Amino acid sequence: MAEPQHVDDSSFNQVVIEAETPFLVDFWAPWCSPCRAIAPIVEELAGEYEGKIGFGKVNVDENPKSATEYGIRSIPTLLLFKDGKPMTQIVGLRSKADLKKHLDSTLN
């Protein structure tokens, strides 16, 4: 089963921006309860969309450059990139069904 990659400021462009498939980035922090609640959902989706959408996690405390560059003001924030550009921003704890709608719309 696929798991989200750990992405940092130095690898963000290579992993996310240059990805050949759409890529969902989970901006999170270990002290954030909603972040910990959404993590298993993101992991499940990474397995379900393996080969279609890439998944990554950015710890905002350890990687402030990426968080600042994309205007992350609250967490969890999920940014869905397509062709190297952020297409969808999802803020807060969401259901798996809601996240799937966003992912499916990116694939169509």
Residues across the chain: 108
Mean pLDDT of 43-62: 96
* SS3 annotation, 29-66: CCCCHHHHHHHHHHHHHHHHCCCCCEEEEEECCCCHHH
Class of domain 5-99: alpha beta
**Catalytic residue numbers, as ranges:** 32, 35
Place 3 in a pLDDT band, splitting at 50, 70 and 90: confident
Place 1 in a pLDDT band, splitting at 50, 70 and 90: low
Asked if residue 61 has pLDDT above 90, the reply is yes
Residue 108 half-sphere exposure, CB side, CA atoms within 13 Å?
Answer: 6
What are 73's two structure tokens? 């003001």
Structure confidence at residue 44 (pLDDT): 96
For the chain, domain boundaries: 5-99
Q: Which of 103, 82, 81, 85 has its CA nearest to residue 94?
A: 103
CA 31 to chain centre: 18
